Amino acid sequence: MSTGEKVPLHVAQAEADVLVEKLAPHCERIEVAGSIRRKRPMVGDIEIVCIPKAVMAGLFGDEQERSPDFEAVVDGMEAVKGSPDGKYTQRITPLGTKLDLFMATFDNWGLILAIRTGSADFSGKILAHRWKQLGYTSIGGVLHRGGEQTYVREERELFDMLGIEWVDPEDREVAR
């Protein structure tokens, strides 16, 4: 699969599986999102959400930082934007596919996975629209309301919190 070209789901899924296999030893949690998770017949890029492992560092070994092994795997791919020590990076895989890699935390895993599973219309017109109706804003991958942060650790928590019946990923499309 080359950048910008759509390929059949099974081709994209196979490449995503290889990437997950390389990244998983350096992650607390990892899952393919986007059009692959929604099982779209044709896929143009790979989206992965992960929680990279942390290691102790600093002069006294009392500071946490992202695993250098995680960063090495990510840095082994051509960089387009972002870095492996941030919340997002875009890379080109060895097979030439665009990879969008989203780094979550245990506290925002559910929110990030839901948003990045998409579709873009579902995330915007259904999920974000509803949390705005309820008075929330999304700042830095966390929902805020009235000065308080609301952590969404699991995807189903988000649906429950928003009062939206669970929708399986493959059904997350908005009729046009």
Which pLDDT belongs to residue 3? Answer: 58
What is the C-alpha to C-alpha distance for residues 17 and 22, in angstroms, rounded to an integer?
9
Domain spanning 109-171: which superfamily? DNA polymerase, thumb domain (3.30.210.10)
- pLDDT, mean over the chain: 93
User: Within 10 Å of residue 160's Cβ, how many Cβ atoms?
Assistant: 13
Q: Does the pLDDT of residue 84 top 90, yes or no? A: no
pLDDT tier at 59 (50, 70, 90 boundaries)?
low
Note the pLDDT tens digit of each residue in 61-80: 677 788 899 999 999 999 99
For position 85, what pLDDT does the model report?
86
**CATH among 3.30.70.20, 3.40.50.2300, 3.30.460.10, 3.40.50.300 for 7-103:** 3.30.460.10
pLDDT 10s digits, 87-140: 999 999 998 999 999 999 999 999 999 999 999 999 999 999 999 999 999 999
Model pLDDT, residue 1: 53
